[in-house]
Amino acid sequence: MKINEVTDDLIEYGMTKGGANMRSQNSQYMNSTKRINNKNADGNREIMIKQNSQNRRQNRLAKKQPTGLPNRLLNPQQPQSPTGQA
């Protein structure tokens, strides 16, 4: 009996040729697809985070109203007289 005859017999007993290799290739393809999708989603997410941050900043600054000159400059306090002297 030759070696080729023995290995050919193994295929007949439920061993499919290249099954594990196909599963490996399929999983590598699926993982690379997932990585690409995640990379694109992360890029879009970063853009959205930046836009939301800018919108929040603009809304916060829009609420601030200029008050003009402060009261302490318009109505300065009178100097107090020294205590203990008459």
* 6-63: pLDDT as tens digits: 555 555 555 566 678 888 889 999 999 999 999 999 989 999 999 999 999 999 888 8
Q: What is the pLDDT of residue 58?
A: 92
Domain of residue 26 covers 17-47
- Asked if residue 29 belongs to a domain, the reply is yes
- Asked if residue 5 belongs to a domain, the reply is no
Q: How far apart are CA 29 and CA 33, in angstroms?
A: 6
CA distances from residue 33 to 24, 41, 42, 44, 73 in whole angstroms, order as listed: 14, 12, 14, 17, 66
Please give the structure tokens belonging to residue 63. Answer: 């609420």
- Asked if residue 41 belongs to a domain, the reply is yes
- Asked if residue 72 belongs to a domain, the reply is no
Q: What is the pLDDT of residue 79?
A: 76
Q: What is the pLDDT of residue 77?
A: 80
Q: What is the pLDDT of residue 36?
A: 94
Number of domains in the chain: 1
